[in-house]
Structure 1
């Protein structure tokens, strides 16, 4: 462990981590509200306020298993120093900004994992990687959208059967109300899983500086700071990605929006309780594709969906390369 980092540099790194969390909320806010906005259940500014609130209070409902996975389950905590954290954060932030500007719903989560892997390998080689944690995260890349898709598809079938004799106008009104609940739950899951990744980064930074008594853990002030940063970012979330997620992939009705959000929320809740850092972007996209394909396969704009998948595939290596570059750059001044 290293203990010599000056206080201003430590505060600066924590500030960068919170900036990433803010950008995570900004970048991924669309995941929480895309469906509820595209179905016109809520106006965008009302939707982001709701999402920000549930993002912030998520720590009341979940443990910190995801934070522990990120903090010590991707690269070995003992090889982490300030330079590694700087590289990881800058790799993730840079990739987030690139994709946000382009309106591409890539994964902030996997950008952070990629940045951490790149910086960690630049410092300690492949021996610094916790392969079991990387395997768990890699499996989640595939499983989270798949589970979201299947759950959403099953929910569409169930709701179609339950409301088969209900007038369309009546069903529409009911699902508009239900979608407020499903969107809130999805925002809760988003805040619970995504904010914990930054908590893990800050906690391992403090651990590397010998500032955590009693071994690795996440201090409460870190929890509150990360939830607040994500909530604030969500308030300022970008419409470009909302439009891509909510209408470019497929057109949604309130019933379909409810099914997509509920399927996504169930996936996120399970992953967070299991300590798996999944991508909220992957999860909701899979769910949206699931409800779209329930009508007919041609209802999904597969060219848009495929471009999103390409962005997912590129995210991990791109963020890793940028993270390694920033690690090496920081070394020139260290």
Structure 2
């Protein structure tokens, strides 16, 4: 019973992750008018799925980080009730954000859910200090680094005439490649965070876990990404094709680097950060919407913690 509930809860996380995050790598393709919303989403979903499958062979380090070890006791980590609560708390957080069109971090939601379910399950026996180096530092600094690089990269590409204001065959090809690379890296970085929740399922073959999570991420993106797509593509900043390519290149480079170093960065933070840096440089950033997104980011961890704590209490009672 609990194993089935755990599997369904992990699939729920994956579905909401796809709905909220599959567009993040390709937002610049849509925002710059290089392709339609549906075209960008199909490309982003296909390359994310490829990254999710590759994660089964390349992401062992991320699996270990999101097992919960070092944050809560090993006894609690092995509890299906705890892991179900983490999955449900993170999924509900992403689900609510998607309903309002806010691009939030599944990584933040999972970290919050780990803490909330840990506090509910073991009281004060949660090692909050372990969150700093392994989780919070990469999550905090990644949007700042992305914003700075977004600005510098756009200025450099414009200086060497690789970021024109209009579409060209070369620019389109480079833009598609960079957006695809960003989405591939997102799949590589996000998928093991969710598969790690299945480590407590007895006798479960993780290869099937990666496939199930990859497929459900793709399904969530195809069925429920429109609200977040509009926010990322049109409401953070205005952009032309050259500007969109600069932002996409930064996202791809940072998320790929983080994935191969097992750093749990948020594609959301990197994508929005790169768009913001480029938009600030061109004075086209839409600061009111950016402020709303930042508020959603601040609330993600406590929301995940509260929902996971409630889920743990309910599952334990049942």
Note whether the superposition's TM-score is higher than 0.5: yes
Higher mean alpha-carbon deviation, 282-291 vs 43-52, is at 43-52
Number of aligned residues: 313
Q: Against the structure 1 CA distance between its residues 167 and 68, is the aligned structure 2 distance closer, same or farther, given a 3 Å change threshold?
A: closer
CA positional deviation for 1:49? 1.7
Question: In 2, Cα distance between the equivalents of 1:275 and 1:304?
Answer: 31
Question: 1:79 aligned to 72, 76, 92, which one?
Answer: 76
Q: Against the structure 1 CA distance between its residues 168 and 79, is the aligned structure 2 distance closer, same or farther, given a 3 Å change threshold?
A: closer
Equivalent in the alignment of 1:257: 244
Please state if 1:19 is matched with 2:12: yes
| Kept in 2: contact 1:65–1:273 (CA 8 A) | no
Question: In 2, Cα distance between the equivalents of 1:301 and 1:294?
Answer: 12
SS at match of 2:123: helix
| Kept in 2: contact 1:39–1:257 (CA 8 A) | yes
Question: 1:175 aligned to 149, 171, 178, which one?
Answer: 171
**Aligned pairs (5 A) from 1:25-64:** 25-58=18-51, 59-60=53-54, 62-64=58-60
Question: In 2, Cα distance between the equivalents of 1:177 and 1:12?
Answer: 44
Question: In 2, Cα distance between the equivalents of 1:254 and 1:289?
Answer: 15
Equivalent in the alignment of 2:267: 280
TM-score normalised over the length of structure 2 = 0.91
Question: In 2, Cα distance between the equivalents of 1:322 and 1:329?
Answer: 11
Alpha-carbon displacement from aligned partner over 1:123-181 (angstroms, at most 9, x marks no partner): 112323363244421112211111211222221121111118x9754x64432221111
Q: Against the structure 1 CA distance between its residues 60 and 94, is the aligned structure 2 distance closer, same or farther, given a 3 Å change threshold?
A: closer
Equivalent in the alignment of 1:201: 197
SS at match of 2:66: helix
Equivalent in the alignment of 1:143: 141
Question: In 1, Cα distance between the equivalents of 2:222 and 2:60?
Answer: 24
Please state if 1:316 is matched with 2:291: no
Equivalent in the alignment of 1:327: 312
CA positional deviation for 1:60? 2.3
**5+ long unaligned stretches in structure 2:** none
Question: In 2, Cα distance between the equivalents of 1:128 and 1:97?
Answer: 26
Equivalent in the alignment of 1:4: none
Aligned alpha-carbon RMSD (Å): 2.1
| Kept in 2: contact 1:115–1:324 (CA 8 A) | yes
| Kept in 2: contact 1:29–1:237 (CA 8 A) | no
Please state if 1:106 is matched with 2:104: yes
Question: In 1, Cα distance between the equivalents of 2:171 and 2:124?
Answer: 50
Question: In 2, Cα distance between the equivalents of 1:70 and 1:167?
Answer: 41
Equivalent in the alignment of 1:268: 255
**5+ long unaligned stretches in structure 1:** 1-7, 213-217
